[in-house]
Amino acid sequence: MRKIICFTLAAALVLCLSPPVFASSSGLKTELSFKYTPAEPSYFVDVDVEKLTGNQNRLTITVTEYMPDGSVRAATEKFMTRNNAEDTYEVGGYSVYVDTKGNVQIRKSEVISNTPGGYTPPDTPVFVNASATADDFIGIAESAKNSGVWVLSFNVTEIWSNGAAKVVAYTVQIKANNANVSGRYDLGAYTLVYDISGGGKNIREFKIVLN
């Protein structure tokens, strides 16, 4: 789902009075010229939420800034979020607050601070790699008694092109007869490979492979 915010800052109307211009037969003529000059930049904010596997979403925020000199600047950032996420994200020189609901619904989004014209659009970091080990396993529990649905909780460390390492917390549901589970779970850019028994006491395999 996508939501667009349009906000135009105050603009100034400059009235320029030119010097008198004399015409041969009509006497004195005064010419008035009007010039519209935006006092500050205006901006558009575009927010898009993409549903991924499990409770993960990819949030894309683009801020397009229209400068008084007619130039246009744009900055885009992508963020990994969970369902019902509520946070503030830095995009270019702007702090954008986004509150999501469910999978891809946007409850509220707004710019809460900005430095108009004071930034150079950054290169958008891209996902590079991810990893998980047995130490990243948090727990496994049945969602309800005799439901056959088990909730697996764990962390994954993502590596991005700008050098950032982000720890992403996952909670996914898998179908099984008991807490002895094994298989693969697609998480979008990568897949979790797991082999767990004894309610998490024995972890034979727990790793990430890229898709």
10-28 pLDDT, tens digit each: 443 343 444 444 344 444 4
* Token output for 203: 């972890």
Scan for tokens 């205006």, then name that residue.
Answer: 42
Same domain for 109 and 132, yes or no, is: no
62-96 pLDDT, tens per residue?
Answer: 888 877 777 787 888 888 888 888 888 888 778 88
Residue with the bigger pLDDT between 97 and 153: it is 153
Number of domains composing the chain: 2
Residue 3's beta-bridge partner residues? Answer: 47
> What is the rounded end-to-end Cα distance, in angstroms, of the chain?
24
Which whole number is the average pLDDT over 160-176? 88
- Do residues 140 and 174 make contact, with C-beta atoms less than 8 angstroms apart? no
* 55 domain-assigned: yes
142 & 106 share domain: no
From 114, 139, 165, give the residue that closes a domain: 114
- Predicted model pTM: 0.45
Length of the chain: 211
Instruction: Please say if the pLDDT value at position 206 is more than 70.
Output: yes
Instruction: Tell me how far CA of residue 102 lies from CA of 19, 32, 83, 186, in angstroms.
Output: 64, 57, 6, 20
27 within a domain of the structure (yes/no): yes
For 189, the token pair is 């850019």
Distances (CA, A) of 24 to 28, 29, 32, 115: 9, 10, 19, 53
Tokens 């030119």 sit at which residue?
18
Integer-rounded Cα Rg, in Å, for the chain is 27
**Higher-pLDDT residue of 138, 39:** 138
Claim to verify: residue 110 and residue 10 sit in the same structural domain: yes
Assigned domain for 120 exists: no
* Together in a domain, 163 and 77: no
119 located within any domain: no
In a domain, 121, yes or no: no
* Residue that finishes a domain, picked among 114, 138, 169: 114
8 and 94 assigned to the same domain: yes
Place of tokens 């100034």: 12
Domain with 19, as residue range(s), is 2-114
Per-residue model confidence (pLDDT) at position 120:
44
Domain boundary residue, one of 91, 114, 137: 114
Q: Which residue has the tokens 């006092």?
A: 39
